[in-house]
Structure 1
């Protein structure tokens, strides 16, 4: 399924009929504080996107809710017309309120509107990948996704969406989505300290479905662990480098989308993910989330 990449760590993975680098880029941090409003340094944000593509990244994750519309417009400004090798994943299922919240928006009419808004802001005729965002800011929540996912499947049949996925989903919702239409990825919170999806990752890998962890470095609660610090010290690397490298070695279907608004930090992330962890290192790190 995966093949070596000469430029980025981790090689590549196939999402349906799209081959993407396992090391991707998440655009959320390009918006202003709280993922609201424009960035303080618009030129710097554009430079980060161009640097990512120049480095070989072919998988960018975004959403029209970031800003809102801010990151999509930055992607369009920086990269349109898009290289044929570049694939952009977006999310629908939530909007933004004036307080910076993420109220759900999963009714059929709301989803259709969001898909068309993403098409407009990215200046695309077809969206490569659309993830249905479920749950809330606290994590996945139980409940049926049938009506919402059937709406996206209809838009896929109309030629507006190439591939489908789910985000912030329970295992039951993943199974329910797969019973309606094929999915190419699941995007959930997962990192060294949050290992609740271990079994799901392995099942998806066996079926050729990608798993895209958000908050790979801990998100609003940065990863901290004596084991992580010890492995980093032995490897003469940063703890964040170890955390990214561990994810790439965890399973071949894991795709990384670490975000940053700094070109220097982007380069550090790429270099750090190239770290090769020993069996002993992995065994020690595996104890963190268990």
Structure 2
């Protein structure tokens, strides 16, 4: 029996299947109305953690979530990410972990999300042009000021995670990971050992025909979809894993949420494990 919840940072309890808001259109109606309907349906289905970022429309995604869900129901948490900014000169997006930028983006997120504190704030990427201690120090100060509750990282190596933990308490890591893409297996192992939440982005990915055929075969045996098999594998993989699949369609959302009810036998898991090498 897999666990159905995980306590991020030891005290922020959320469901094991979250929702990624990146794909939601934020323009005018009718697309905006559809996005609002999708995210409201996610909450109706029991989603308790929604992932967004400053990068997603320069804060437009955060504003959409507040429009759809504020005042937030008890137990619902929105995590956002900072550290990617648009250049005033070129208009292009790039990494920017300077403390002043991180502070400004957190303040903007607080305003857009209409909250006084962001319970989980993640550094979107480590900026190689800014000392890591400066980036983490700014987030640590924001936590001390009560503007954020817990600090997470995204797209880090096991070594970077270890170095970061020398400066801050890391509550979560958001890395690319799925049944066909195990590059960050060492990071997941480190997170599981330390009780750190691991939020895989791109939790479902198309693979080569042979690998996809194996997933399709398991799906056919269970009478579910390949997407549901991929998400179910993640939920069985480790109790620290909180997948964040995203979609702009209610039918896909309902398909994703139903994956939490898919049970994989030991044989199914072993067959899926072999697609990326047996997990440690």
Q: TM-score, with normalisation over the residues of structure 1? A: 0.87
Structure 2: gaps of 5 or more residues: none
Corresponding residue number in structure 2 for 1:167: 154
Match of 2:171 among 171, 174, 184: 184
Alignment CA distance shift 1:126-1:270 (3 Å): same
Match of 2:47 among 35, 47, 57: 57
Corresponding residue number in structure 2 for 1:13: 6
1:22 aligns with 2:16: yes
Task: Please tell me whether the aligned partners of residues 135 and 169 of structure 1 are also in contact (alpha carbons under 8 angstroms).
Answer: yes
Q: Following the alignment from structure 1 to structure 2, what is the Cα–Cα distance between the partners of residues 240 and 102?
A: 31
Q: Following the alignment from structure 1 to structure 2, what is the Cα–Cα distance between the partners of residues 284 and 15?
A: 30
Task: Please tell me whether the aligned partners of residues 145 and 173 of structure 1 are also in contact (alpha carbons under 8 angstroms).
Answer: no
Paired residues in the alignment total 272
Give CA-to-partner distance per residue, 1:195-250, whole Å, 9 cap, x none: 122232123212211100000012xxx24522212212222221111000000000
Corresponding residue number in structure 2 for 1:132: 123
Task: Please tell me whether the aligned partners of residues 51 and 79 of structure 2 are also in contact (alpha carbons under 8 angstroms).
Answer: yes
Structure 1: gaps of 5 or more residues: none
1:251 aligns with 2:238: yes
Q: TM-score, with normalisation over the residues of structure 2? A: 0.90
Deviation at 1:26, TM superposition (A): 0.7
Deviation at 1:122, TM superposition (A): 0.5
Alignment CA distance shift 1:142-1:200 (3 Å): farther
Residues 228-267 of structure 1 aligned to structure 2 (within 5 Å): 228-267=215-254
Give CA-to-partner distance per residue, 1:115-171, whole Å, 9 cap, x none: 1111111011111111112159xxxx7995221111111111111110001001121
Match of 1:78 among 35, 55, 68: 68
Match of 1:112 among 97, 103, 116: 103
C-alpha RMSD of matched pairs (Å)? 2.3
Task: Please tell me whether the aligned partners of residues 61 and 257 of structure 1 are also in contact (alpha carbons under 8 angstroms).
Answer: yes
